[in-house]
Amino acid sequence: MQFRGKILQNGQVLFPNVVGTMHTSLKLEGSSGTTGHFTLPRGADIGPGEGYEIVLTDGRKAGLQVLNVAGSAPAPKIAHFKLQGGFQ
């Protein structure tokens, strides 16, 4: 699924308008997980780790763990993530 939203850290908006994709996959033991990626604004960066939150344009939000960031200037970087829990 494609999405639009914003990325927060400690309640502060880091990126007010990100675009990306995410998908949910079932694991062998029956649980599921949602992973995806979003494009960072040109010249921006984000560190891997927990403590981020994504808020979609429809108001749903979830914890976010950035797994890695790929790319280099002049192209925008791509952040790969997994959701921590589901959307609220």
Please list, in sequence order, all residues whose beta carbon lies within 8 angstroms of the beta carbon of residue 78, skipping any fewer than 6 positions away: 37, 38, 39, 40, 69, 70, 71
pLDDT in the model for residue 33? 86
Kindly state the tokens that stand for 18. 């990100």
- For 39-77, the pLDDT digits (tens) are 999 889 999 999 999 999 999 999 999 999 999 878 889
Tell which residue, 11, 71, 10, has the closest CA to residue 38.
71
37 neighbors 29 (Cβ within 8 angstroms) = no
pLDDT higher than 90, residue 26: no
pLDDT in the model for residue 29? 66
Q: pTM for this one? A: 0.88
pLDDT in the model for residue 4? 97
- For residue 73, what are the domain limits? 2-84
pLDDT in the model for residue 85? 83
Count of domains forming the chain: 1
Q: How far apart are CA 63 and CA 7, in angstroms?
A: 10
Q: How far apart are CA 76 and CA 88, in angstroms?
A: 29
User: What percentage of the chain carries pLDDT values higher than 90?
Assistant: 76
